Amino acid sequence: MTQTALAGAGAAGTETDAPAKPVRTARPRPAAKPHGQWKVDGKAPLNPVEAWKQEDDGLSVRHRIETIYSKQGFESISDDDLHGRFRWWGLYTQRKQGIDGGKTASLEPHELEDSYLMMRVRTDGGKLTTEQLRVIGQISVDFARNTADLTNRQNIQFHWIEVEDVPEIWRRLEAVGLQTTEACGDVPRGMLGSPVAGIAKAEIIDPTDFLQEIRDRFIGSPQFSNLPRKYKTSITGYPDHDTIHEINDISFVGVRHPELGPGYDLWVGGGLSTAPRLAQRVGVFVPPEDGPAVWEGVTSIFRDYGYRRMRNKARLKFLVEDWGAEKFRQVLEDEYLGRKLPDGIAPPKATVNGDHVGVHEQKDGKFFIGAAPFVGRFSGTQMLALADLLEAHGSHRLRTTPLQKVIALDIPKDEVEAVVAGLDEVGLSARPSVFRRNTMACTGIEFCKLAIVNTKDTAIDVIGELEVRLADLVDAGALNEPITLYLNGCPNSCARIQTADIGLKGIVVPADDGGTTGGFQVHLGGGLSSHNREEAGLGRTVRGLKVAIHDLADYVERVIRSYAANKLADE
Ligand code: SF4
């Protein structure tokens, strides 16, 4: 019986004077809001960011930087350009110095920034020559107060850049084949590539030409200069997985097909931030000659079908989650490639830590040496000294890695120990402690507007403490596996905390005096195959477990001691 019928019966048949209950009629459900998918919903912008992206392409701001902003100064920059299109050229505003992390959430963005810029230089695949290193180092000295951090996407990041200097910096970078094009923004950002591409003895396939082709054809092209959001690529042919392929939007992982030979297994939809997802295998084998077309097809799917209405749903991972791998493959093959791809085979399991730290023999009999700075912190003067060191030993090539390390290539056998010693003098250790080797930190409060805590200095302090406090475990051989410790300055995940054994997310915590202080929310138990894990997994938040910065070394020591005492034989 319907609600209306019940109401009618009561009104007619009741002997009381009580008023009849109001009649409830079923309301039509509102139509589901469109996701803002260009191919489904049309291109009308559904939020202000999509509006300015369509109004004027992000890449177009370069002309204004060269002709107006660099001449008239910071105050002349329009808001849409400063907080939007500048990213398409690797430029962000930098945090104003001296603002307490506890105030980050309560201040307006413009109150948190000053007139200096952060600039990111893309080094796809981490490839650098010593000539390029010298140019970056000198730019750092001349324009960036000697800052030149190594990011965990193989890029170099300057701070303290003034807009007046940007054209000269571009001129110097481009003279040696470097660029800041699309280093940030809703575009294909700097692409991860195996840092030992073309040199590792164990390599299944060398991805160098593949990566170079997609960079040359598509970076800076209007074809992909307006994606729904950022888009991260990784390509490796190294069997021990060195490009964190599980957490990129698109990844190609080297495999050897029993009939078709070396090629790639395709993964899509990985990403972290506040809604982490591991990538899914699409189930196709990509022959090397098809790599660029498949990259173009997947990127086109993201451009055309990606969700644009809500910024926090605009990453490829949400589309992949809704579609599933099967539908994704069908759309890729039917709508974008116009042909079927062979079925894929799963990549081999990683067997060693994919950070490449230490001394390793190359295919050609020379050696490469992977070395660790402290949590990616580096400087222009260190870069100039590193270029001198390598050239003095006959090397002209190096690589940066997705784990904030540096690899010196092409070292003759009898020069190895001299280079290892020289690297130490430059501030890079080829034989770092387990703690220095496996700790990463994001930019943090020194320069990032969103940060709540200081990450890099905190991490460096904790590394020093652990090296002393846990020396007994190290000496006893109880910590031979990588134990990763990653620090984020805020709830975003630039340092990939969900993929660490111990992941720390910057927050405000209660202080002993009744006020608040900087601290971390703890995640435990994450790991990727680049950390030599059989199966990738995301760490879990330990509910209610928060630790103040001044208690951090005590806490991490307790966790590691507990792990060492209780771990299983094969753990
Ligand atoms: Fe900034 Fe947060 Fe990213 Fe760290 S994790 S660099 S604090 S946005």
pLDDT in tens, 224-242: 999 999 999 999 999 888 9
DSSP 383-424: HHHHHHHHHHTT--EEEE-TTS-EEEEEE-GGGHHHHHHHHH
- Pairing, β 406-411 against β 397-400: antiparallel
Residue-level length of the chain: 571
As given in the structure block, the two tokens for residue 176 are 């040696």
Sign, CA torsion 351/352/354/360: negative
Beta strands in 269-384 (DSSP E): 280-286, 358-361, 367-371
Centre of ligand 1 to C-alpha 112, Å, is 14
Phi and psi torsions of 182, nearest 5°: 55, 30
Sign, CA torsion 161/164/168/173: positive
| CB-CB neighbours of 542 under 10 Å | 15
Separation between Cα atoms, residue 291 and residue 48, nearest integer Å: 35
> How many CA atoms lie less than 13 Å away from 388 in the CB half-sphere?
11
Which among 375, 384, 459 has a CA at the least distance from the CA of 426? 384
Centre of ligand 1 to C-alpha 387, Å, is 30
**Complex ipTM:** 0.99
Q: Which of 94, 404, 443 to mutate to test the pocket of ligand 1 (most atoms within 8 A of CB)?
A: 443
Q: Give residue-wise pLDDT tens across range 85-105.
A: 999 999 999 999 989 888 888
Separation between Cα atoms, residue 559 and residue 368, nearest integer Å: 34
Nearest atom (ligand 1) to Cα of 490 = 2
Separation between Cα atoms, residue 160 and residue 117, nearest integer Å: 6
**Neighbouring residues of 333: CB distance < 8 A, sequence distance ≥ 6:** 284, 339, 340, 341
Q: Give residue-wise pLDDT tens across range 258-282.
A: 999 999 999 999 998 878 899 999 9
Centre of ligand 1 to C-alpha 236, Å, is 26
Separation between Cα atoms, residue 174 and residue 132, nearest integer Å: 10
**Neighbouring residues of 424: CB distance < 8 A, sequence distance ≥ 6:** 430
Which among 479, 432, 486 has a CA at the least distance from the CA of 459? 486
Smallest CA separation from ligand 1 atom 4, residue: 489
**Neighbouring residues of 18: CB distance < 8 A, sequence distance ≥ 6:** none
Q: Which of 159, 455, 487, 490 to mutate to test the pocket of ligand 1 (most atoms within 8 A of CB)?
A: 490
366, 412 contact by CB (below 8 A): yes
Smallest CA separation from ligand 1 atom 3, residue: 494
Centre of ligand 1 to C-alpha 273, Å, is 10
User: CA angle 372-375-378, nearest 5°?
Assistant: 75
- Pairing, β 502-510 against β 485-488: parallel
Centre of ligand 1 to C-alpha 103, Å, is 15
455, 495 contact by CB (below 8 A): yes
Which pLDDT belongs to residue 527?
Answer: 82
Which pLDDT belongs to residue 571?
Answer: 65
Which among 492, 496, 404, 503 has a CA at the least distance from the CA of 450? 492
Angle between helices 291-305 and 316-331 (to 10 degrees): 120
Q: Which residues line ligand 1 (CB under 6 A)?
A: 442-444, 448, 450-451, 488-490, 492, 494
Centre of ligand 1 to C-alpha 261, Å, is 41
User: CA angle 78-94-102, nearest 5°?
Assistant: 115
Q: Which of 151, 157, 442 to mutate to test the pocket of ligand 1 (most atoms within 8 A of CB)?
A: 442
Centre of ligand 1 to C-alpha 489, Å, is 5
Which among 510, 552, 523, 519 has a CA at the least distance from the CA of 101? 519
Nearest atom (ligand 1) to Cα of 452 = 7
Nearest atom (ligand 1) to Cα of 449 = 1
Centre of ligand 1 to C-alpha 313, Å, is 19
Q: Give residue-wise pLDDT tens across range 510-548.
A: 888 888 899 999 999 888 876 666 667 777 777 678 999
Which among 464, 461, 542, 467 has a CA at the least distance from the CA of 497? 542
Centre of ligand 1 to C-alpha 447, Å, is 9
Which pLDDT belongs to residue 18?
Answer: 42
Give me the tens of pLDDT residue by residue for the chain, a chain 571 residues long. Answer: 333 333 333 333 333 344 445 556 667 677 788 999 999 999 999 999 999 999 999 999 999 999 999 999 999 999 999 999 999 999 999 999 989 888 888 888 888 999 999 999 999 999 999 999 999 999 999 999 999 999 999 999 999 999 999 999 999 999 999 999 999 999 999 999 999 999 999 999 999 999 999 999 999 999 999 999 999 999 999 988 899 999 999 999 999 999 999 999 999 999 988 788 999 999 999 999 999 999 999 999 999 999 999 999 999 999 999 999 999 999 999 999 999 999 999 998 887 778 999 999 999 999 999 999 999 999 999 999 999 999 999 999 999 999 999 999 999 999 999 999 999 999 999 999 999 999 999 999 999 999 999 999 999 999 999 999 999 999 998 888 788 999 999 988 899 988 999 999 999 998 888 888 999 999 998 888 766 666 677 777 776 789 999 999 999 999 999 999 988 776 6
Q: Give residue-wise pLDDT tens across range 354-384.
A: 899 999 999 999 999 999 999 999 999 999 9
Smallest CA separation from ligand 1 atom 2, residue: 490
Q: Which of 494, 504, 505, 521 to mutate to test the pocket of ligand 1 (most atoms within 8 A of CB)?
A: 494
169, 143 contact by CB (below 8 A): yes
Beta strands in 299-362 (DSSP E): 358-361
Centre of ligand 1 to C-alpha 491, Å, is 8
